[in-house]
Chains A and B, each alone.
Chain A
């Protein structure tokens, strides 16, 4: 599962360093705190999954990195990519990075492509803009990329409009579009959520396959742990705007520390369990992001909640890079 985690060349600095990232939105109901201090690092060639439920701040983390927050959103902290802090860049400087060094794939392939333009126009504009290629060269490159994501008959299909493609094919097109300039980092925000389960698997396999061929780093954002089981090196679990657990995929799946992660795992449907135990849901709802209470944000839903949870819990870290934001000791006996 996480065999490639160590293939990263030693000593090379991380490709992306997120430091104390905070994202908030000014809304009529008050200031919504979507992300409240997030730190993580991403190594060259690493695939990181950020997992959490709706409103956990995982997508807004990606939007903040890309400078694509909604107008009422503000971000603070640092996102160091290639020695420059993306947060400090102007729109023009950011445009030199977006689509070229960092690409993003969005949640809903049905609406993420412009319905008024052919696939060709939408693809070649990226190449022509970032690499200064001519129309013919750009088209040839786009056709190759469509072939790489397994669009049949790309020479013809490139002239079609998005509505002539199925949902899975549109997501392939978006992936192809994201890879046109061979970015160093690909951010996929819920790339499979809007798709059928069988198509989901195809898309995930496609991403895994493309990763094999390049040294690209990947951040996959999802609410579905099962989606990233096979392709993530590391997983960050987010809850109510915070990272609650971090570890290799193997650790998260086999030695989850935080009660929330454990709950998430119990709520993943599995076919390999004999006996047909009922699927368990985590009771309750996440706290209101307008007024997050002090202390552990999960305590109202946690079976292990205790008095100590009224204080902000420490982020306990181990030498091998695991972390859990919980008062419970790491590596205690876990019953699953």
Chain B
């Protein structure tokens, strides 16, 4: 199992407070997200689980400011580096996406632009924003040169690298920007480094390839490289393994775990697969119908689930170690979010519901240190 990072407040990467999002549709107002609270820390892997339609992806899009036009954020805060993203201008939001918040999506076939090479799709992040990325591009090339120098024995190449190093250091001191051509060259080298980092074979070749020339797993790795290359503070991974077959899934998850240690990102892994959460995450938040119903340490929640919905979810997963005649699905289905149930949105399906449940909404309370639950059975 995973070593759990300390759950102190010292390095909170992203905090979502009381987020409420609705969608205006022809059928009515869909209350998709109803008061979500989330905290992720740097180098932490948080799993966000729930059924389809529980609002996991909407939460991710709301954090990145990429909600579709018919969505409206009613209230809430998304705090990143002490700033509320929801109150920022379009340009500031774009900057946040450029430098701090990265997304990786479900289907690597449709999310990569079919008519652009993998390389262009990575380097355009830098070449379109050379002013912002000048220092980072130069610094990462300098680091690359240091590494190469350590391994290089050919004196000719060493002198060549040293020459490049001096040139770059001058450019670094220089307050003026770098030329487009130089930016392109540096961006390419950085992109190839990250394609290597996500373990793509022959990164130089992949750089020049189009998405349709890659396999599903390779495309997903390329998309992860695209996200990580900006060194984001938060990585939102939305169902990144759903479209892949099981062996590739395992590889990608292993990669994500390894990368967590290499880059300082907080990772939110959105999934409906409890197995993935158990294997990969440090903490888990369970979503139901636009609410977080339970949140806590992975081991704690898997050992000791509190919320009836979480208990039901575990009952619905086949386990080879326990002999059962039938799986026990959670009765009923996801509620209609245009007219959601009053009070606790889970009460119509809850086996333990009592008279208080339909009347008011249970708050998310700390039942034990590091284990929060939103259910009246446990107070609140």
Real binding pair: no
